[in-house]
Chain A
Amino acid sequence: MFLWVIQRDLLLAMRQRSDVLTTLFFFIIVVSLFPLGVGPEINMLRSMAPGVVWVAALLASMLSLERMFSSDYLDGTLEQMMLSPQPLILLVLGKALAHWMVTGVPLVLISPILGFQFDLQTDALLVLAVSLLLGTPVLSLIGAIGAALTLGLRGGGVLVSLLVLPLYIPVLIFGAGAVEAVSAGLGASAHLSLLGAFLLLSLVLAPWATAAALRISIE
């Protein structure tokens, strides 16, 4: 059942590739604009790189949040899922994971290449990718709560950002912090461990909160 949900959402994403590509290109363009706008001052670029990449990743994952449940809500498939004999929590977890595979994984893969534009060292590039690998699933899981709460509301897209962005702050701080720590010659393990802890915490709590929010929204 869990696998069916993931398989279904990936299949839908394959059929509608523009959704996936918009997120990826948004990320690439936002990150690339900074070196162009700020100028070729290498030290400055290096020090701002982690923050820029991470903020762009937050915004890119926000872009597609609204669609996580709303298209299923509009065509009635969400209703059918809620009447499934399987626990709703599992289903929500499947949808959040599929969202991450479609929007988070491409960002993780492309981030080392974008990091080159900021003249990041190899170890910093690696940590950047690892921090995104740990952090982007958290974005999808927390985002699912916001998407479920604003389901069916007018102007839901803006409301989602207001609800969810403040909750992203810890992930941003430790994600960007990990890369900065490596660039400064300190180890990134403390930051990465905290990101891992956020991931575990949101894996446990977010599906439960999302399921509760969906039950309220669908009534």
Chain B
Amino acid sequence: MLKVSNLECVRGERSLFKDVNFSLEAGELLQVNGPNGSGKTSLLRMLCGLARPAHGEIRWLGDNIRSLDEDYYNSITYLGHLNGVKDNLNAIENLRISSALAGNGIDESTAYASLQKMGLIGREILPVKVLSQGQRRRVTLARLLVSDTVLWILDEPLVALDTSAVLLVKGILEQHLEKGGMVVMTTHQDINIAAIETKRLQLN
């Protein structure tokens, strides 16, 4: 479904990576590995169309994502290393607004239920700015629980999370893969997510 061919990323004068090829089918997981500065984030930003590749192309269901544009965004969820939550809003407002902007409006009880799963109850009406780094990350990750997209592109989703939250996220990802979803993720942590097939891409 997702097919990447001869992808090249250039930053300034330096080529970060080139000739990156892979394809991803339903239920498959792609784990992108590599040292700091090897272009993992740049690769993920290209995959979701925020950055333009210097060379090569990314195809979704056979069409270049450049030509799909907004249709493609119906099929993906991207969580970057910025949390994408507003400090002055509380967790419920943040979750409802970001889901609505992603084209998938939810009501307050659904938002409450997914925040409960993420272990944030009791703090759901506090402005996010008073929460800890890990709790903010949980608010961000709660979006995955309410998302109905096929392809998840996750940039270091486990950063700042404690062990119980890491297990929780692992469970969410496995459930998504089981339902035929696809995940592209980077992480420095050693976790083993069960998938039909786990592919690894090493950047250096």
Does residue B88 face the partner (Cβ distance < 8 Å to A)? yes
The DSSP consensus for interface residues of chain B is: loop
A15 to B100, CA, bound (A): 20
Q: Which of B26-34, B75-83, B182-190 contacts A (4 or more CB under 8 A)?
A: B75-83
Beyond the given pairs A15-B127, A79-B82, 6 more chain A to chain B contacts, judged by CB atoms under 8 angstroms and listed by A's residue number, are A4-B101, A12-B89, A79-B80, A83-B76, A84-B102, A87-B70
Chain A: interface residue count, which band? 20 to 34
Closest 7 CB pairs of A and B: A76-B82, A76-B84, A15-B88, A85-B103, A85-B74, A85-B73, A4-B100
Q: Are B103 and A77 in contact (CB under 8 A)?
A: no
When C-beta atoms are compared, the residue in chain A nearest to B52 turns out to be: A219
Q: Which of A4, A15, A80, A84 counts the most chain B CB atoms within 10 A?
A: A80
The reply to whether A76 and B83 form a contact with Cβ atoms under 8 Å apart is: yes
B-side residues, CB < 8 A to A, are: 48-52, 70-71, 73-74, 76, 78, 80, 82-89, 93, 97-98, 100-103, 105, 127
Residue in chain A with minimal CB distance to B90: A15
Q: Which of B49, B76, B87, B101 is within 8 Å of A5, CB to CB?
A: B101
Q: How far is the CB of A92 from the nearest CB of chain B, in Å?
A: 13
Q: Report if A193 contacts B (CB, 8 A).
A: no
With the chains together, A219 CA to B76 CA distance in Å?
18
Interface centre among A12, A16, A74, A83, by most B CB within 10 Å?
Answer: A83
**Contact across chains for A75 and B73 when beta carbons are under 8 A apart:** no
Contact status A84-B103, CB under 8 Å: yes
